[in-house]
Amino acid sequence: MKRADRAAVWFVLPSLFLVALFSIYPICASVRLGFYRTILMLPWLGEKFVGLENYADLATDAVALQSLGVTLLFVGASATMEVLVGAGMALLLNESFRGRGLVRAAVLVPWAIPTVVSSQMWRYIFNDRYGLFNFLVFGRDTSRYIAPLAEPWLARAAIIFADVWKTSSFAALIVLAGLQTIPDELYEAAEVDGAGAWQKLRRITLPLLKPALLLALLFRTIDAFKVFDLVFVMTQGGPADATNVLQFYGYKKIFAEGMIGYGSAIAVGVFLISLALALLYIRLIGARVLEPGAAR
Amino acid sequence: MKPWPALLLLPLLVSPLHAADIRFVTWRDTQGYLEPLIADFEAHNPDLKIVRDVGPHSSTEFHDLLAQKFRNRDREMDVFFMDVIWPAEFASAGWALPLDRFFPREAQKKFLPATIRANTYAGAIYGVPLFVDAGLLYYRKDLLQKYKLSPPRTWPELVEQAKTIVAGEKHAGLTGFSGQFKQYEGLVCNMMEYILSNNGDLWDETRLSGALRFPAAQEAARFVRDRIIGEIAHRGVLAYQEPESLALFSEGRAVFHRNWPYAWAEANDAHKSKIAGQVGMTTLPAFPGGSSAAALGGWQLGISRYSRRPELAWHFVEFMTRAETQRRIALQTGRGMAREAVYRDPEVLEKYPQFRMQLAVSMRAVPRPTTPVYVPLSNIMQRYFSTAISARDSDIDRLARHADREMDRVLDLLRPRAAR
């Protein structure tokens, strides 16, 4: 046992090193920066330790709070829809039909396109003069064309839609993996007992799929919290700050305004929220995973 | 010091086998003047190669790209375009190289004074002006003539004329006005023209305090919200920068249009525009009791503090901003140039008679205040303006007070320095 343990340490070490280098170090550095007031454009102010001042400012910053609201809306709407759409796709892909391999590959295409590229595509689609969106809705009557990205609620819907389009297939992958772990015997037994398709779905598939669905939701929620590129390319946070998500706000603070300390505090805030979510989900999933086999 | 002694050292610095690269961060050249100029420069300097690094069109995004390169101390950037509002910030952050040794006072006198002021920070010069922009009003000569109207002198007059013409023309796609109202730097320029022409101000530079809450500024914002957006301009302008708004005008779908001088040549180019020859240009309207105010814009060339070869970079900057180059760009594009002599050049005046009037507008154009914290202030204003004008029921008074408080906090950062 001891030798095996030692070997295990060596196997884990490289990935631990990478995690430390690319996750833990930047997190610690951000936390440290968040306690300082550093403004690039005003070098004479120096790097002043201000304790929790940045966080106190953050708590009363109306823009940050509004931005948190926008982010939560985006996360809630996009993650929910992605898991639902993804589950539907997975159920479909799990059936056997001709050309299934091709469809499975095709479904992954949106996910394989870099977000910056697909965001650019959506920006064109939603353009008010030559966008496909207007053509589909209004046809050739150009006088009725609207600018979805100029309307706060439509712009929000547009970035959510673009995200759902892109990452539903990722959710589908996870759910599909979950589906494939459900043994066929269960369905056979159910059929023997006279269960219909709906009953099989409700009584077997969905309960056994819960861990996979939660896992998909976890990944999508945390990932959605970090949304940046969609907003950067499609709206730059506008119109009227309607799509100013937290990560973009933090980016503006650091890279445009040079407010390193304050921007880092925002980043740390996003990190803490994601961490809390992750812990919550892990507890939920842990409990669910144990449930079926819990034969005390 | 003159540039010449440094240039004599050139052969020593550049080995004949390796052409030295000068990295130039620029925007996409839609008017086609940059390519031939760079080819010319390279033909005269076979040892130098200009490598172009193309950034985004939006000034805001371009700024963020530069800031990111500076933060990374990117040695792969030598020369860059700089918006008129950035020199103070880049100088204060230590990112732009002071150019006094290359660009002495004597040489600076050949440029429009406002452009030199915008490039000067704490007594040193940080950029060489190339383009000068000032907000102008474009209009459809043919339509105004048809309705026997003369170009509007006040904003309310502009609204009335636009309504009359749009109602009279049975052209479903025609709107009254197009400008730049997206949440970006151009929004600040547009809104500042309304506010200043109503005797208002963005902020008070001596008292370091926001001025958006005062009645003049609020009235102007309310006017844009109630009389322009969704009235004479369709709501799409809330997502428009210069190219989109100009395209609408060039398609013959807007009676009036606010833009910089470059729009004149574009709107009159029969290949790109349906209204070539029917374009009129004049100073922007004012509110009754105010006087026309054009925002000063423009682009300069700067050299990065992290450049490995500032002398060679200067060689390129000098070429790009010399009198002959500016004359050439003016002739080709009709854009406003920073050297005063261009406006007196007979050939330029013959091709672009409007340059006489453009000089007058550019001389009087109002620069946005020079401060190292311009970007945070601008972000606050962009947010305020965008929120104030996008929704009919926006509470402008509350929003303006809030924006002022936020500006005050940023401006407070400058106080310790002032006290010292």
Closest to A257 (Cβ–Cβ): which among B184, B235, B379? Answer: B379
Q: Which one has a higher pLDDT value, A200 or B416?
A: A200
The answer to whether the pTM exceeds 0.80 is yes
pLDDT digits (tens, 9 = 90+) for A103-124: 888 888 999 999 999 999 999 9
- Cα dihedral B111, B57, B60, B96 in deg (nearest 10): -50
Q: Is residue B342 part of a domain?
A: yes
pLDDT tens digits, residue range A86-102?
999 999 998 888 888 88
Q: How long, in residues, is chain A?
A: 296
Both B332 and B214 in one domain: the answer is no
More confident residue, B283 or A240: B283
- Measure the CA–CA gap between B176 and B158, rounded to whole angstroms: 9
CA B376, chain centre distance (Å): 18
d(CA B95, CA B373): 14
By Cβ distance, the residue of A141, A142, A256 closest to B375 is: A256
Cα dihedral value B272, B278, B280, B286, nearest 10: -90
Instruction: With respect to residue B242, please indicate whether it lies within any of the assigned structural domains.
Output: yes
**Residue B142 CB: number of other CB atoms within 10 A?**
13
My answer on whether B275 and B148 are in the same domain is: yes
| Residue that is last in its domain, among B248, B282, B316 | B282
Q: Do A128 and B236 touch (CB under 8 A)?
A: yes
Report the pLDDT value the prediction gives residue B183, as an integer from 0 to 100. 87
Is the CB of B327 inside 8 Å of chain A's CB atoms?
no
In B, minimum Cα distance to A155 occurs at B239
- Here the CATH number for the domain that contains residue B109 is 3.40.190.10
HEC secondary structure over A274-285:
HHHHHHHHHHHH
**pLDDT for position A162:** 95
Q: In the prediction, which pLDDT does A5 show?
A: 83
Using one digit for the tens of pLDDT, what is the confidence trace for B391-420? Answer: 889 999 999 999 999 999 999 988 865 544
Residue B307 lies in a domain: yes
For residues B79 and B205, membership in a common domain is answered with: no
Task: Give yes or no for a contact between B316 and B99, defined as CB atoms under 8 angstroms apart.
Answer: no
**Closest Cα to residue A252, out of A68, A120, A122, A64?**
A64
Residue-wise DSSP of B199-229:
T--SEETTTTEE-TTSHHHHHHHHHIIIIIB
Q: Please name the residue of chain B whose CA is at the shortest distance from the CA of residue A62.
A: B402
Domain over A34-290 is classified CATH 1.10.3720.10: yes
Reported as a single tens digit per residue, the pLDDT across A211-246 is: 899 889 988 998 999 899 999 999 888 788 899 999
**What is the distance in angstroms between the Cα of A272 and the nearest Cα belonging to chain B?**
25
Let me know whether B80 and B53 are in one domain.
yes
- Say how many domains are in chain B: 2
A-B contacts at Cβ under 8 angstroms: 101
What is the number of residues in chain B?
Answer: 420
Residue B65 included in any domain:
yes
Helix residue ranges, H only, B15-120: 34-44, 59-71, 87-92, 105-108, 113-119
Whether residues B141 and B271 share a domain: the answer is yes
Take residue A53 and report the two structure tokens written for it: 């001042």
Does B68 share its domain with B179?
no
Contact yes or no for B239 and A149 at CB 8 A: yes
| B218 confidence band (pLDDT: 50, 70, 90) | very high
Q: What is the pLDDT of residues B95-150, one digit of tens each?
A: 999 999 999 999 999 999 989 999 999 999 999 999 999 999 999 999 999 999 99
pLDDT (mean) for B351-359: 89
Residue B43 counted as domain residue:
yes
Q: Is residue B18 part of a domain?
A: yes
Which residue among B183, B375, B402 places its CB closest to the CB of A237?
A: B183
Interface residue B209 vs chain A (CB under 8 A): no
Q: Residue B132's beta-bridge partner residues?
A: B298
Mean pLDDT of chain B: 91
Instruction: Please determine, for the modelled complex, whether the ipTM score is greater than 0.90.
Output: no
Q: Which of B282, B315, B342 is the last residue of a domain?
A: B282
Q: What is the pLDDT of residue A140?
A: 84
Collapsed DSSP state (helix, strand, coil) of residue A147: coil
The 10s digit of each residue's pLDDT in B15-57 is: 444 568 999 999 888 888 999 999 999 999 999 999 999 998 8
Whether residue B412 is contained in a domain is answered as: no
Reported as type and span, the H/E element at residue B161 is helix B155-168
Residue from B62, B175, B375 to probe the interface with A (highest A Cβ count within 10 Å): B375
B156 and B278 both lie in a single domain: yes
Residues in A whose CB is inside 8 Å of some CB of B read 39-45, 62-63, 128-129, 141-143, 145-147, 149-152, 236-241, 252, 255-259
Q: What gap in Å lies between CA A197 and CA A134, rounded to an integer?
A: 40
pLDDT at residue B349, as a whole number: 94
Cβ separation of B89 and A41 shorter than 8 Å? yes
Range of the domain at B202: 136-282
Residue B103 lies in a domain: yes
Helix axes B185-196, B215-223, angle to 10 degrees: 120
